[in-house]
Structure 1
């Protein structure tokens, strides 16, 4: 009669996958919540509790990125085929036509003495 009960055998009640882990032992838990995750803060979140120094550093980095992007945009304004060539690709037909039109317009303006 050992191992038998009125409701079934004891194998159904053994500790297979039905374990109660102590706090911090559970292997299925994600990493600790206060460790933080990358890009988890929204820059314009009013309830974000980042320090003023962190917000200032973020804004400074954003300004530096915008300065870099403006230089890039200025270069593209002079050469429409630059992005494709910078990546080692042949420029598209549209980019080639844009560049050709831009060069023709600049030449026309130079001829008229406006530039």
Structure 2
């Protein structure tokens, strides 16, 4: 019965040039070596053990926090990132900067800074 199809000839079902490559040709890097940044620290579906997660967090506490350039700019002046991109700062950024300046002035007046 296999030859009684009305869909097409047998040549339709032949592989022809549609061949899969051998598994040995496209092997990824070795599994146990892992890849950098392949685990997300807060990923709930990550299957790392609790001990491994605790060990990672222990190492993480000792590492200095890496800040990107925009975060550093935002810590100095809340309106600077927007202005550096050629935009007008938002009302919230202007208020944040005003509050920061008032707090710094108050600390200087009290002799803390």
Output the TM-score relative to the length of structure 1.
0.47
Comparing both structures, which one devotes a greater share of its residues to helix? 1
Output the TM-score relative to the length of structure 2.
0.48
